[in-house]
Structure 1
Amino acid sequence: MVVFFCGTLQKVVLHLFIITKAFATLHKKSWDNCYFGSAECKCQKVPNNLLKADCSGRRLHTLPVFNTSVIWIDLSNNEISNISSGFPRNVSYINLSENNIQELVMHPFHRLSNLKTLNLERNMINITMVYSGLFADLTSLTELSLKGNIQNKFKPTVIKDDVFSELKSLETLKIDGPANVTFGKGFQNITMLQKLDLSGITGNCSFQRISHNMFLNMPKLTYVDVSACDILDIEEGAFGKLQYLEHLDVSHNKQLGFASLPNITHNLNKTSIRVLRGNGINCLSGIGTKILKRHFENLKHTNISEIYFEKNRLEQLEPGAFRLLPNTITSISFGENKLTQGRYILDYFFLQNIRVYNISVQLRPPPFPESIFEQCAEKTDVLHENKQYFDNEDIQEKEGNKYESMMNDFIGSKWNEHHVTFYIPKTLEVLYANMSRLYGTVPEFGINATGAREIYAQDNFLYSWDGPVHGMENIKIMDLSNNFCSHISKSFLKYARGLTTLRMSKNDIGKSLSSDMEGEIFKNTVSMKADSPSYEYDIMISYSAKELSFVLTDVIPRLENEAGFQLYIKDRDEPAGISCGEAIMEAIQKSKRVVCLVTKSFLKSTWQDYELNMSRMEAIEDRENLNFVHLIIFPDVCNGSISIQTLDLVRQECFSEYPEEECAFDDFWETLISHIKEFNRY
């Protein structure tokens, strides 16, 4: 931590220095104007007298004539229709996304043996027209993206496996998923292929069925994304043949329903599955859904660690379903559903290695008007009387008796005659229960949760906090804000000796606090800071307009929906009727931390300059901590390396680099979330 103790004059001088230095730093020309024929671009020198050339957004109609020293080329967002004139031989990166390319004629990639990344997203390329030899010279290519090229999803499109088989070094393939998608025997020759992205979120995907042999010729896949592809049916064991599969995403195929899970998870025990994402696999509207034991049956012998079933109208789980999950489960997310409490909560006891459990945002309605006019009917379970999972009266009675006998395992011996103790897995560290429809008083009870450190229960209806709650000694952070609470007893926090952060804003406990003349309510919270200010937002996200889609598709789901942070997003939360400058200052002051998405467009934006510099002044003047500002440096700025000198006003641990490889995204967000939580504790 860097702390400044300055008089008024010293502060003025310091502020002037910061502003001058910050602007000089941000506007330092690491990219200079350069010309390739008549094309004006930006160039950056890299070792060995080589160049990176950024010619994006220049309204170019033809390829510039690059010299041989150029090894990195960004031609995105232009009007180029023909690329037959060729590229420099040593180029390793080419971005041609968002152009008007329709045909790849005359072998445009001839002799490009050093090319590693080729991005052809969002053009008008008919991949049916690709031809043998097109990729033959790309012997070093590891990533190819052709997403967003299918203009008419009803027009027949063929993925020619003999052409793609030329890409011997390919590791990542991002491609549209046409209605009749197949991956023929030619893909067996791409022995390095690990990641297949067919997602309709970032491209066009319209196939309705996954057969059991769809991925038969791609046995080395570790990552498969078939989200938002309009899938209606998945044959049993379609993913079970992928021995190395670690990450599977079937999200936003709204008509699959939970009834498809047995087919999806069949033979996953023969894979290396770690993460399963099934968000939004039920329709937006309808009565509540239920996860049955049969839905999780195939997971019990896997080593899966994370499951995500958000936005599924999930209301209940069949008792015993949780017990079918393996001991390797560390994270479960049921956010944005409609969960009600039931006997299934007794099964929490069996989640012996769980670290994060998310049941937040259970009140959010489905989006309007899509939920009203959508034509959607998810697959439902058809069970017969001879099936062991049939929910008839005899089985209900047996289950009821079994769960009555389990009560003694889950609910321990009484502290006294008025309350019980609930046993929670000792590994559980974080519970997200904000907006989870929790209703009623908080009576006196006990929890045996030795590993629990953070509880987020804001935005519920816990209207009277009576307590005391026994066993809270290890809880560090607790959020009870916005709970319509009108009473807090003097003994409620009696055992909360480890609390460092307690949020109780937006309640009506003023009368209880004013009558506590002796300070009994907080007398045992010896570790807590009630002189710490209360902030409305955990994080203010500073970003340029061009990054709005990234904020919506990545930042909000990761930091707000999954991690439970309250974010300030200017396009969503900026108050009306005040100037931009005033809105920025107000947001900074209301936020516990500022996170800046530093891209090329960010560095070129006057408003982002202003936000960053005002945040830095806030860090020094009011927070006394330069860690208040955290920079996420994107590949278009640093491309694998960054000069600390360009960030000399921020300590080295206050920035992180966003990875280029999508397989590293999960680790990046997990590390960032941990870093922010650690900062927020102090």
Structure 2
Amino acid sequence: MANENLINRDSTCFFTAIEGEFYANCSNKNLQNAPNISGLIYPIVGIDLSINLLSKFPTNLPKTLKYLNVSANSLDRLSRHDIREYPQLIELRMSKCKLKVLESHSLNGSQLRYLDVSGNRQLTLSVLKNISCDLSESFIETLILDELQCPIGPSIVLTRNHVKCLRNTSLKMLSLASNRIVYLDVYVIPTLPESLTVLNFSDNKLTMGLYASQFGLLKSMKVLDFSYQSRIPVQNFENIECTYTEKNCKTEETEREGSEREPKIYDIHPSIYTIYLPQSLEKLYLHDYTVDPKPYRYDAFISYAAENETFAIDVINDLERKSNLKVCFHSRDFIPGTAIADNISNAIQNSRRTVCFVTSHFLQSYWCMFEFNMARMVSFYSRAGENVLILVLLEKYPAHKMPLDMLELMQYNSYLEYPGNFVDKESFTSQLAKHL
């Protein structure tokens, strides 16, 4: 929970202390250069520089840095010396930049446990070979490489060479969604590290192949996502910068590929295959079918501003009495004497969905936005990228005044408007119940 006595603002960043560690939020400030905050009294361990105009990887930040977010900037390169400026860095987010090059050995010797370079389509999936070999002796636990391949153009065959360097790591989550992967070499699944608990291949071009019979080899697996294969992309490609052919990323590992055997690929008829699942599995998404054996204490956690409580309580009563849903909300279900942040975290973790009633009061409320951001973090870290958020817009609000994270969520996920097209509150509540 943030200590209010240690929160300060300056003209550039918002500083806060969480559980004794200090963070700087410099997001969405139109910064062309990283601010110089190395001289502060308290050591900064986390900096959010996302949604700015940085063209070069910042090297003037505090050496105590553990968490760095430079997503949605204009960075086009990560050199082999950049990460070495921060020997304690364990989490690096570089999604949706304009990366064209990740230099070989740029991640060697790092302490990284979390890396996200998704949404950099000029890299292409060939970068996986360099990244995996750079991290072969690291502490990496989460690797997110979604949307690296152009959504149109040639498809990709994923081979053992892409992942073999990860074999002896402690990797827990690997996400390769939306990369036009059309086949898996039969050696891919057996080569993945035994520590893997979350594997995401959603939104690719995979058919039902021999890989499906190999799932049982993933002894620690909890979440497998192979959903939405062969889906036709619907986005506008005019403004997407991407590379249609794989770059020639040469390292000692990749230069030997020519002498290795051709990938073996087998398709099996979907009516006769048998899938052996690991006993540890908790959730399986397979070609648009979901198996969800994990029970949640609540169907939904409802987040709302105090000014909208009367409306929220009316909706909650309808959801519980008429739709037989179990709902969590703070005035009834939060535990007295427990820190607010802990109550919020427990409520979201124990709920299948989080519903936010978005109004101007909601957007101005510190704790409402805390709940929104906490639910987003749960989507990333605990639910394998599954969106747990349902946004309900209760009033018209200028888009340019909304947080960019919320606008992005609305762009790629459905949301409800009230009153909108609903004739009354009962029809709205009924529709909301269907989403839950």
Q: Which TM-score band (shorter chain)?
A: 0.5 to 0.7
Query: Structure 1 residue 180 and structure 2 residue 16: aligned?
Result: no
Q: Secondary structure at the match of 2:98?
A: coil
What TM-score, normalized to structure 2?
Answer: 0.66
Give 1:422 shift. Answer: 4.5
Greater mean alpha carbon deviation, residues 171-180 or residues 322-331: 171-180
Residue 294 of structure 1 aligns to which amino acid in structure 2? N
Residue in structure 1 matched with residue 307 of structure 2 by the alignment: 604
Greater mean alpha carbon deviation, residues 302-311 or residues 286-295: 286-295
Give 1:325 shift. Answer: 1.1
Query: Structure 1 residue 377 and structure 2 residue 230: aligned?
Result: no
Residue in structure 1 matched with residue 223 of structure 2 by the alignment: 356
Query: Structure 1 residue 199 and structure 2 residue 71: aligned?
Result: yes
Among 26, 40, 43, the residue aligned to 1:146: 26
Residue 174 of structure 1 aligns to which amino acid in structure 2? D
Query: Structure 1 residue 615 and structure 2 residue 313: aligned?
Result: no
Q: Secondary structure at the match of 2:131?
A: helix
Q: Secondary structure at the match of 1:164?
A: coil
Q: Secondary structure at the match of 1:142?
A: strand
The alpha-carbon distance between structure 1 residues 165 and 364, as it changes in their structure 2 partners (threshold 3 A), is farther
| Larger Rg over CA atoms | 1
Give 1:329 shift. Answer: 0.5
Residue in structure 2 matched with residue 424 of structure 1 by the alignment: 277
Q: Mind listing any 5+ residue stretches in structure 2 that lack a counterpart?
A: 332-336, 355-366, 390-433
Query: Structure 1 residue 641 and structure 2 residue 344: aligned?
Result: no
Give 1:374 shift. Answer: 3.1
Give 1:167 shift. Answer: 5.5
Greater mean alpha carbon deviation, residues 233-242 or residues 175-184: 175-184
Q: Secondary structure at the match of 2:85?
A: coil
Contact 1:289 1:313 in 2 (8 A): yes
Contact 2:157 2:185 in 1 (8 A): yes
Query: Structure 1 residue 233 and structure 2 residue 101: aligned?
Result: yes
How many residues align? The count is: 353
Aligned counterparts of 1:288 and 1:621: Cα–Cα separation in 2: 48
Contact 1:383 1:389 in 2 (8 A): no
Residue in structure 1 matched with residue 166 of structure 2 by the alignment: 299
Residue in structure 2 matched with residue 435 of structure 1 by the alignment: 288
- CA deviation string 1:521-556 (max 9, x = no partner): xxxxxxxxxxxxxxxxx9xxxxxxxxxxxxxxxxxx
Q: Secondary structure at the match of 1:665?
A: helix
Query: Structure 1 residue 670 and structure 2 residue 379: aligned?
Result: no
Contact 1:659 1:665 in 2 (8 A): no
- CA deviation string 1:267-293 (max 9, x = no partner): 313322111111111122223222222
Among 71, 88, 94, the residue aligned to 1:220: 88
Contact 1:307 1:332 in 2 (8 A): yes
Aligned counterparts of 1:299 and 1:373: Cα–Cα separation in 2: 34
Aligned counterparts of 2:200 and 2:280: Cα–Cα separation in 1: 16
Give 1:328 shift. Answer: 0.2
Contact 2:198 2:222 in 1 (8 A): yes
Give 1:361 shift. Answer: 1.8
Aligned counterparts of 1:420 and 1:291: Cα–Cα separation in 2: 21
Give 1:323 shift. Answer: 1.9
Give 1:239 shift. Answer: 2.2
Give 1:213 shift. Answer: 1.1
The alpha-carbon distance between structure 1 residues 631 and 312, as it changes in their structure 2 partners (threshold 3 A), is farther
Aligned counterparts of 1:632 and 1:378: Cα–Cα separation in 2: 50
Residue in structure 1 matched with residue 110 of structure 2 by the alignment: 242
Residue 83 of structure 2 aligns to which amino acid in structure 1? F
The alpha-carbon distance between structure 1 residues 246 and 95, as it changes in their structure 2 partners (threshold 3 A), is same
The alpha-carbon distance between structure 1 residues 195 and 420, as it changes in their structure 2 partners (threshold 3 A), is closer
Aligned counterparts of 1:662 and 1:271: Cα–Cα separation in 2: 28
Residue in structure 2 matched with residue 486 of structure 1 by the alignment: none
Aligned counterparts of 2:59 and 2:165: Cα–Cα separation in 1: 26
Contact 1:256 1:379 in 2 (8 A): no
The alpha-carbon distance between structure 1 residues 166 and 378, as it changes in their structure 2 partners (threshold 3 A), is farther
The alpha-carbon distance between structure 1 residues 284 and 604, as it changes in their structure 2 partners (threshold 3 A), is farther
Contact 2:90 2:114 in 1 (8 A): yes
Residue 431 of structure 1 aligns to which amino acid in structure 2? L
Aligned counterparts of 1:212 and 1:643: Cα–Cα separation in 2: 39
- CA deviation string 1:247-301 (max 9, x = no partner): 1111111111111112222331332211111111112222322222211122111
Q: How does 1:501-512 map to 2 (within 5 A)?
A: none
Residue in structure 2 matched with residue 326 of structure 1 by the alignment: 193
Give 1:421 shift. Answer: 5.2
Residue in structure 2 matched with residue 170 of structure 1 by the alignment: 44
Aligned counterparts of 1:391 and 1:435: Cα–Cα separation in 2: 38
Q: Secondary structure at the match of 2:83?
A: coil
The alpha-carbon distance between structure 1 residues 95 and 668, as it changes in their structure 2 partners (threshold 3 A), is farther
Residue 435 of structure 1 aligns to which amino acid in structure 2? D
Contact 2:120 2:148 in 1 (8 A): yes
Aligned counterparts of 2:129 and 2:54: Cα–Cα separation in 1: 25
What TM-score, normalized to structure 1?
Answer: 0.44
Contact 2:67 2:90 in 1 (8 A): yes
Residue 428 of structure 1 aligns to which amino acid in structure 2? L
Aligned counterparts of 1:148 and 1:305: Cα–Cα separation in 2: 31
Q: How does 1:437-586 map to 2 (within 5 A)?
A: 455=291
Residue 171 of structure 2 aligns to which amino acid in structure 1? I
Aligned counterparts of 2:241 and 2:275: Cα–Cα separation in 1: 43
The alpha-carbon distance between structure 1 residues 334 and 422, as it changes in their structure 2 partners (threshold 3 A), is closer
Aligned counterparts of 1:322 and 1:617: Cα–Cα separation in 2: 47
Contact 1:236 1:262 in 2 (8 A): no
Residue in structure 2 matched with residue 58 of structure 1 by the alignment: none
The alpha-carbon distance between structure 1 residues 228 and 667, as it changes in their structure 2 partners (threshold 3 A), is closer
Aligned counterparts of 2:227 and 2:378: Cα–Cα separation in 1: 20
Give 1:594 shift. Answer: 4.3
The alpha-carbon distance between structure 1 residues 267 and 92, as it changes in their structure 2 partners (threshold 3 A), is same
The alpha-carbon distance between structure 1 residues 429 and 149, as it changes in their structure 2 partners (threshold 3 A), is closer
Give 1:181 shift. Answer: 2.9
Give 1:364 shift. Answer: 3.5
Residue in structure 2 matched with residue 275 of structure 1 by the alignment: 142
